Amino acid sequence: MSETFRIPLLKDHHSHPLFYAAFSTAVNLQQVTTLDEAHRLVCDYGERDNSGIAIAHGWRNSQFDWPQADFEKLPPAAVFDVSLHSLLINQSGSEILARHYGDSVNQLADSEWYESNFRTVLNWFANLNASAEALEAFYGQLLEVGVWSAEELLLVDENEINLFEQAKLTDRTRFWAAPETYSNLSSSAKNQITGLKLFTDGALGSRTAALNGTYTDEPNNRGLLIYPDGELSEVIGECLDTGKSLSIHAIGDRAIEQCITTLEKMGSAVRTVPELRIEHAQMIDLEMATRAKGMGITLSMQPNFTSDSVEYSDRLTAELCQANNPFRMLIDQAGFECGKDLIFGSDGMPHGVQYGLQQALYPTHKNQSLTLDEFKAGYCLADESKGHIELKFGLQGIEYNVHTVQD
Ligand SMILES: [Zn+2]
């Protein structure tokens, strides 16, 4: 007999709601393992939106290569890899995109340009299909997979706030904005921003997360840091001057170290931030964790990325696969507390209780495991006033039922 448990609905601390809402009609390739199948899905896309480009996301480049020559044979198409940090686009797709956004579109294939303009690129696609209706539909889908709220980690522009207001969803998100986006907002919009968001490296999917070592399948590649040290402290300083919270994306060990060392050098200024977060922190070690804890930094992590240890074993050393998402070390040795300074989200890869909980409870490496109580403390609403999730752990894995208060 299987036992049942219940937990409150989830608050996802890291998502990109407008982008994913705009993508709700896009092709999802997360479960696709062959190039043929991917081709078929992109071709079948048809006229699902007004943009004229078949948009797909979730391509796992660890599963199959996608030669540009094959890609050119498809109708206008743009395919994001599962990390979103690299994009395949064909000539006819570029032409459509360039009609909206000009010649910068031609630089999409340059990975350094892409990382430096990551926010801009996501915004291009978010804006192709953004609407209050799409947002509403997306938050409906989130609820079906057990998620009540989802923080927006990269506000597209001021119009996104209007769309959230029209959809009456402002109580189910918090807005984080890149410094350039923030400085262009009206003062009333600025008031609605929780914090600023910076990137210090790329992602594992695109081999741009900054590592101390090299990628095993690209011996000259250590990933990339977005800022030289001096520039990073300048940018952080400007963010702190706004008095807002600050969230910093750092995945690879080299980026995490740069981020923590830079923050330490800034001294007492970092103590006054309402909330100071590192996003992802996947390759954090005990020394970095202890220093981060000492500065009052919150780690915003994604249990679903625990499976990167398997997915990216084609490009990471065995040690780094082991070092990914070291939750036991963070909690048992560095003293992080779930729900206080260790919080969870999904980055939309994928959203929902099932995959994240599966990875949390049954990870590849012991050091990655979380208890159900820890998962609940770091990921769930404080109470069941919005609803709850009923969980059943059986031989088939985790089954769940979502009950909202209206039920
Ligand atoms: Zn993200």
Whether 287 has a pLDDT exceeding 60, the answer reads yes
Q: 97-103 long-range CB contacts below 8 Å, 24 or more apart?
A: 97/53, 97/124, 100/124, 100/127, 100/128
CA 171 to chain centre: 20
Distance from the alpha carbon of residue 353 to the mean position of ligand 1, in angstroms? 18
Global pTM reads: 0.89
Torsion from C-alpha of 283, 288, 289, 291, nearest 10 degrees: -160
Give the burial string for 289-306 (b: 16+ CB within 10 Å, else e). bebbbeeebbbbbbbbbb
Higher pLDDT, 3 or 177: 177
- Residue-wise DSSP of 148-162: EEEEESS---HHHHH
Distance from the alpha carbon of residue 250 to the mean position of ligand 1, in angstroms? 11
The CATH number fitting domain 132-384, selected from 1.10.3720.10, 3.20.20.140, 3.40.50.970, 3.40.50.1820: 3.20.20.140
Look up residue 213 and give its DSSP letter: S
Residues with CB under 5 A from ligand 1 (ion): 153, 347
Annotation: CATH topology of 26-110: Diaminopimelate Epimerase; Chain A, domain 1 (3.10.310)
Whether 172 has a pLDDT exceeding 70, the answer reads yes
Whether 50 has a pLDDT exceeding 70, the answer reads no
Looking at the chain, the domain(s) classified CATH 3.10.310.70 span: 26-110
Which residue stretches of 145-202 are H helix?
158-166, 179-183, 187-191
Distance from the alpha carbon of residue 395 to the mean position of ligand 1, in angstroms? 33
CB 196 within 8 A of CB 182: yes
Q: How far apart (Å, rounded) are the C-alpha atoms in residues 363 and 310? A: 10
Confidence of residue 24 (pLDDT cuts 50, 70, 90): confident
Handedness of CA 330, 333, 338, 341 (dihedral sign): negative
Distance from the alpha carbon of residue 71 to the mean position of ligand 1, in angstroms? 26
Largest pairwise CA distance in the chain = 61
Distance from the alpha carbon of residue 73 to the mean position of ligand 1, in angstroms? 31
Looking at the chain, the domain(s) classified CATH 3.20.20.140 span: 132-384
Instruction: Please count the other Cβ atoms lying within 10 Å of the Cβ belonging to residue 361.
Output: 17
- No. of H helices and E strands in the chain? 18, 15
pLDDT value, residue 267: 87
Distance from the alpha carbon of residue 1 to the mean position of ligand 1, in angstroms? 39
